[in-house]
Structure 1
Amino acid sequence: MSLFRQIWLAVIVSALIAFAGSFVASMLTARHYLSQQLTIKNNDNAASLALSMSQLDKDPVTVELQVAAVFDSGQYAAVRVIDPEGRVMIEKTSPPQTEGVPAWFVGLFPIVSEPGQAQVSNGWSQFATVELVSHSHFAYRELWEGGLRLLLWFVIGGCLMGLLGTHFLRRIKQPLDAVVAQAEAICEQRFVRIAEPAPHELKSVASAMNVMVDRLKAMFAKEAARLDAMRREATLDPLTGLANRAFFLNQLDAALSDDDAVPTGSMLLLRLADLAGINRRLGREMADELLRRMGSALLAQANEHPGAAAARLNGADFALLLPGVHDPSAVAESLLGTFNDLVSAGLIDGERIGHIASSPYLHGQGIGSLLSRLDAALASAEGQGTLAWSRAESGGQAHATTNADWRKLLDGAIHTQRLRLIEFPVANSRGQLLHLECPLRLQAAEGGEWLTAGSFMPIASRLAMTSELDLAAARLAMERISAGAAAVAVNLSGESIRDEHFRRRLHAQISTRKELAPRLWLEVSELGAFRHFGEFQAFCNLLRPLGCRLGIEHFGRQFSEIGRLHDIGLDYIKVDGSFIRAIDSQPGNQAFLKGLCGIAHNIGLTVIAEGVQTAAELAALPDLGFDGATGPAVPREKA
């Protein structure tokens, strides 16, 4: 039974007990009072009648007329005239009258009054005795109406007490509900704090739970910091903070081979001339400062371009990968300026300064051919002088078009529904299907080629058109689920989730087929989620009640932010494929990923590996704690 029902039951029972006691006590008191008043009235009326009879003639007719006149007033139950010998000379009686008063009430509270008596004189002698009994129905009616008034006041008072009790219970229940919600969130491995309620008993509970949450968060933050340090050690150059050679080659491989990667871009190779001589002439500290300054310049360029990656390949060689950048002239000129700044700062003192090579790339080409072109271009730059930039020729021609053409193409595809989903299996360690990952494809023209998401989504983001494409992807996913698919995952753009109007439209779209929501998996890239974290949290809070599964894809580069995922109710993360490449032979990455899986499981997240290329990589994942995998090595089996 709910607290509200219990409090109403308690109020009703209390009111009934109080009413019963008050009713009996007040009725008995009132009955005694009315009985006394009737007795007094009987005596007064008998004396008045006797006095008037004493002044009249005592013949029988006159006496009877006098008695009849008094009796006919209707106020008396009986009037008797008794002679001195005790014989009844005249008697008038009427039956009891209790109209409007229940018989059970009359029987429960009988009103008994003593008859009034007075002497009728005839001169100096006694003529007779008058005995008079008044009707009690007036007293019964007054007693009954008093009982009804008492009942009414108790009903009103009980209702008021019940309403006040309900109101106060609601006020008390709000902080109690907050404490319960916090406990449920902790059971779901979401560690949320709540405001401490005013009631002391609840305040102590909430305070203790908040302390526990803070300690858990601190523990996870400490563990996350340890694992992030491990990640940096395994993937970054310790001096410059750029990616090391092995990790950069994994990123480059993903850019050239992953299905959802941007299909074109540029890569730059930089070399500091005579680093060994600088180290010998200026000292180790100056040489290290030179490398750090160059690393900072490359990192700044990478941060300005989504998906870019910067690396230190070896002692004097650096690389910069720029997906979606067809003309790297501005970047190259900026880096040439950095070389000049280093000369001005006295960090480069020789005749030779540095050289830059650049080359475009296309999705699907080999790493070897791209690096060979860059090496040739770098050799050409070294032959041009102290500071030079050489551009390699492209191995193919990328499709290029204007923003207006892209807008027309995207609008046409959306309105004519030239969109479809393709599917890739995501399976657990036992080979069972978790869901189908379904990236979006767009047909450039009727009967034309189907473009990958990497080809058109960056353009759609620039043109603020991702919302319509993401809504279409969600609609196609729900259609596929309705047709019998076990579970379908679609990727949503970070630009879309930051749009409140898009979030409301997506919520409304899913709400129309709410029974399909538990099989719909929605994921956002790590970059989009953390760049717009407040909007991402609002997105999760809005869609979680529908039953959708929510996740982050391409996770790992911002691992230190994992502590922010405690309380948003996320279901899964997909670890970026660059961490998975050759994982079977990289102990450093293995230790990091094992720790990542452990901390993710502690906050209730399923962990899935992306871009699994080989059977050896797939076989290594269960021991690291991964719950599932996707990529070319995962068999295409249906659920």
Structure 2
Amino acid sequence: MRSSGVNEIIVHNNSHQVYQLKLPTSYNAWDTLTNQRYVDAPLMHHPGYSLKMVYIDPTASYTRSLETMFPVTVSIGLMILVLLFSYRWLREQTLGLEKLERRARKILGGERENAVRGDVHEFPPNASSAVDRLLSDLADAREERGRVDTLIRAFAAQDSRTGLNNRLFFDNQLTTQLEDEGAHGVVMVIRVPDWESMAGLPGKREREEYRYSLVNMLSTSVMRYPSGLLARYFQNNFAVLLPHRSLKEAEGFASQLINSVSAIPPANGIDSEEVLHIGISLYHYGQSTEQVMDQAEQAARNAVLQGSNGWFIDSNPVPEVVRGSVKWRTLLEQTLARGGPTLLQKEAVSVSGEVHHHDILPYIYDGGQALPSAEYYPLVQQLGMAESYDRQMLLQIIPLLRHFSAEKLAFPVSIDSLLQRSFQRWLRDTLLQSEKSLRQRILFELSEADVSQHIDRLRPVVRLLQGLGCHIVISQAGLKVVSTSYIKQLQVTLVKLHPGLVRNIHKRVENQLFVQSLTGACEGTSAQVFAAGVRTKEEWQVLKDKGIAGGQGDFFAKPRPVSRV
């Protein structure tokens, strides 16, 4: 009865009580009169008899349930507390393992730069210390590899005495210029005093400082031209290459050099009026490197014969088109008004012979003359129109992605534009309007020299582009002596060799060494090395032997208008 909640049973025969059973009276806080119920039912097998039962209704309130469930609830609560403390203890024991696993996952994902430092709570501690040691050794090896790559670049391109470009590198760049249809510009040979002949005179230290200041002045002056190149050509002769520049600009540059010499403090044994003798020669497509340099050197000799600081212009007539800043601005604004530059394309082919992507080449036209981006884009940047041109370029590229079905398109973008907040927001919004399958086929080409100079500021925008599915391509690799650390820091997709390194590479061991070093720097990353400007089968064969993944150039296909594809 107690387990059923029945307190009293009474059996009646008509009006007489036959039997009564009642539990002993004891106070229970859970049992109240409001919870008691009465039932009076006849006994069917005993006519005239009825059963009256007094019981506690468990559904009348929560008191009965609480009385019954209280021990169970306490037991469950204790079990939960035990489980919580056990989980906390187990969590503390496995936290070190989880931290080590999380760091290992980052390392496998390529985030080695951010995962070098371990946590003191990692477990087991010996495994954590071993990973730290290996990562530290790997970082040291990477730095050493970067220094070796830089030394290899310096060996292939730099003069050991002055730190400028050497004659071989200068000739490669000039040869590449002369092989491009429509190329033109200025070559200058600058003759300075013969320092070796003064070695026995007093004041050697002053002359060394004077020479250092003179070389620094020449280098600083050439750096004002985006595509300018300065090299120590032979002993006391320096050579300057100014692509797509006119004779008027060359004379202005020479005059600036003459005026800058007077600001250098004089040195014993050096006549300040006999320091710079400049020979100026124009070049154009179709000439040979030897012919251009002979003309420039002859002009330099004539400048020496004139006496005092000055320059002499080669007398061989070369047709040139001179455009002032006003004409350039008008031409560039008209191009924007017409919808942007004219686009040409050429295929980039992998070593297996398949088309890897299409390289988009922007051209503008001045009448019937086609001007490549190497000629007009420095003026675009100088006139502050880079952002407008890059926006127009992207607006032309996105429709082409549908035209080229499943193939990738690579096109150049200015670093100046990418560093502008307004352009970054516009670029993000524009790319988000296209489906991800299209964004994954966009390759942004950035100049290696500009990337190395602004790598810290470029990281956020590069992460943005890669987060949207786009790819980063580094172009003109090898043009400047810079570190290859950007390959891992920016996780680039492609690295394209400068055409000057590719030219006659089967004859130039130092360029082969550089290419082999660059392909080695890309090992263990997602980056691949492509060659630009391949012209002959011999060049292509040597490049494949050195481990590149593909190439582009006239050997594969010449540029074609996009509309004809």
Q: Say whether 1:469 aligns with 2:427.
A: no
Scaled by the length of structure 1, the TM-score of the pair is 0.70
1:530 aligns with 452
1:272 aligns with 192
Match of 1:606 among 517, 528, 550: 528
Closer, same or farther in 2 for the Cα pair 1:383/1:61, shift >3 Å? closer
Question: Which secondary structure does the structure 2 equivalent of 1:527 belong to?
Answer: helix
Q: Say whether 1:306 aligns with 2:229.
A: no
Contact 1:609 1:626 in 2 (8 A): yes
1:570 aligns with 492
Contact 2:207 2:268 in 1 (8 A): no
Closer, same or farther in 2 for the Cα pair 1:496/1:339, shift >3 Å? closer
Deviation at 1:386? Answer: 3.5
Contact 1:196 1:203 in 2 (8 A): no
**What is the rounded CA distance, in whole Å, between the counterparts of 1:170 and 1:547 in structure 2?**
37
Question: Which secondary structure does the structure 2 equivalent of 1:306 belong to?
Answer: coil
2:29 aligns with none
2:278 aligns with 356
Contact 2:150 2:483 in 1 (8 A): no
**What is the rounded CA distance, in whole Å, between the counterparts of 1:181 and 1:440 in structure 2?**
46
Letter in structure 1 aligned against 2:148: R
1:621 aligns with 543
Deviation at 1:411? Answer: 3.6
**What is the rounded CA distance, in whole Å, between the counterparts of 1:349 and 1:399 in structure 2?**
36
Deviation at 1:218? Answer: 1.9
Q: Say whether 1:509 aligns with 2:427.
A: no
Q: Say whether 1:193 aligns with 2:114.
A: yes
1:440 aligns with 362
Match of 1:401 among 303, 321, 324: 324
Contact 1:298 1:320 in 2 (8 A): no
Q: Say whether 1:235 aligns with 2:157.
A: yes
Contact 1:78 1:134 in 2 (8 A): no
1:497 aligns with 418
Question: Which secondary structure does the structure 2 equivalent of 1:218 belong to?
Answer: helix
Letter in structure 1 aligned against 2:347: P
2:334 aligns with 412
Letter in structure 2 aligned against 1:402: S
Closer, same or farther in 2 for the Cα pair 1:348/1:184, shift >3 Å? farther
**What is the rounded CA distance, in whole Å, between the counterparts of 2:337 and 2:76 in structure 1?**
66
Greater fraction helix: 1
**What is the rounded CA distance, in whole Å, between the counterparts of 1:592 and 1:388 in structure 2?**
38
Contact 2:261 2:272 in 1 (8 A): no
**What is the rounded CA distance, in whole Å, between the counterparts of 2:166 and 2:393 in structure 1?**
36
Closer, same or farther in 2 for the Cα pair 1:78/1:343, shift >3 Å? closer
Q: Say whether 1:93 aligns with 2:51.
A: yes
Letter in structure 2 aligned against 1:569: Q
Contact 2:348 2:355 in 1 (8 A): yes
1:518 aligns with 440
Give 1:115-154 correspondences, 5 Å limit: 133-137=53-57, 142-144=63-65
Closer, same or farther in 2 for the Cα pair 1:324/1:442, shift >3 Å? closer
Give 1:40-439 correspondences, 5 Å limit: 75-77=37-39, 93-94=51-52, 133-137=53-57, 142-144=63-65, 183=104, 186-187=107-108, 189=110, 191-194=112-115, 200-201=122-123, 209=131, 211-258=133-180, 265-281=185-201, 291-323=211-243, 325-326=245-246, 327-329=249-251, 331-337=253-259, 339-340=261-262, 344-346=266-268, 348=270, 353-362=275-284, 366-392=288-314, 395-403=318-326, 405-439=327-361
**What is the rounded CA distance, in whole Å, between the counterparts of 1:588 and 1:471 in structure 2?**
40
2:22 aligns with none
Deviation at 1:579? Answer: 1.9
Question: Which secondary structure does the structure 1 equivalent of 2:428 belong to?
Answer: helix
Deviation at 1:255? Answer: 3.5
Letter in structure 2 aligned against 1:193: N
**What is the rounded CA distance, in whole Å, between the counterparts of 1:407 and 1:174 in structure 2?**
64
Closer, same or farther in 2 for the Cα pair 1:396/1:180, shift >3 Å? farther
Letter in structure 1 aligned against 2:535: Q
Contact 2:122 2:128 in 1 (8 A): no
1:577-605 per-residue CA deviation (whole Å, 9 max, x = no partner) reads 22222211112222222122111223331
Deviation at 1:524? Answer: 0.6
**What is the rounded CA distance, in whole Å, between the counterparts of 1:516 and 1:174 in structure 2?**
42
Identical positions, percent: 21
**What is the rounded CA distance, in whole Å, between the counterparts of 2:189 and 2:478 in structure 1?**
25
Question: Which secondary structure does the structure 1 equivalent of 2:199 belong to?
Answer: helix
Match of 1:539 among 435, 445, 461: 461
**What is the rounded CA distance, in whole Å, between the counterparts of 1:174 and 1:476 in structure 2?**
52
Deviation at 1:303? Answer: 2.7
Closer, same or farther in 2 for the Cα pair 1:296/1:407, shift >3 Å? closer
**What is the rounded CA distance, in whole Å, between the counterparts of 2:345 and 2:103 in structure 1?**
38
**What is the rounded CA distance, in whole Å, between the counterparts of 1:74 and 1:539 in structure 2?**
77
Question: Which secondary structure does the structure 2 equivalent of 1:589 belong to?
Answer: helix
**What is the rounded CA distance, in whole Å, between the counterparts of 2:383 and 2:94 in structure 1?**
49
Deviation at 1:538? Answer: 1.9
Closer, same or farther in 2 for the Cα pair 1:91/1:598, shift >3 Å? same
1:548 aligns with 470
Q: Which moved more, 1:435-444 or 1:235-244?
A: 435-444
> Gaps spanning 5+ residues in structure 2: where?
19-34
Contact 2:193 2:236 in 1 (8 A): yes
Closer, same or farther in 2 for the Cα pair 1:575/1:204, shift >3 Å? farther
Give 1:569-588 correspondences, 5 Å limit: 569-588=491-510
**What is the rounded CA distance, in whole Å, between the counterparts of 1:608 and 1:433 in structure 2?**
12
1:428-453 per-residue CA deviation (whole Å, 9 max, x = no partner) reads 233332212111123457xx544321
Question: Which secondary structure does the structure 1 equivalent of 2:358 belong to?
Answer: strand
Q: Supply the RMSD in Å over aligned alpha carbons.
A: 4.7
1:478-537 per-residue CA deviation (whole Å, 9 max, x = no partner) reads 333312352221111111211233233333333313212332222111122222213322
Question: Which secondary structure does the structure 1 equivalent of 2:388 belong to?
Answer: helix
Deviation at 1:567? Answer: 3.1
**What is the rounded CA distance, in whole Å, between the counterparts of 1:551 and 1:325 in structure 2?**
28
Deviation at 1:622? Answer: 1.3
**What is the rounded CA distance, in whole Å, between the counterparts of 1:197 and 1:534 in structure 2?**
26
Scaled by the length of structure 2, the TM-score of the pair is 0.78
**What is the rounded CA distance, in whole Å, between the counterparts of 1:192 and 1:409 in structure 2?**
47
Contact 1:413 1:444 in 2 (8 A): no
Question: Which secondary structure does the structure 2 equivalent of 1:409 belong to?
Answer: helix
**What is the rounded CA distance, in whole Å, between the counterparts of 2:161 and 2:495 in structure 1?**
30
Closer, same or farther in 2 for the Cα pair 1:439/1:372, shift >3 Å? same
Letter in structure 2 aligned against 1:396: P
Q: Which moved more, 1:247-256 or 1:554-563?
A: 554-563
Question: Which secondary structure does the structure 1 equivalent of 2:268 belong to?
Answer: coil
Letter in structure 2 aligned against 1:482: R
Contact 1:190 1:567 in 2 (8 A): no
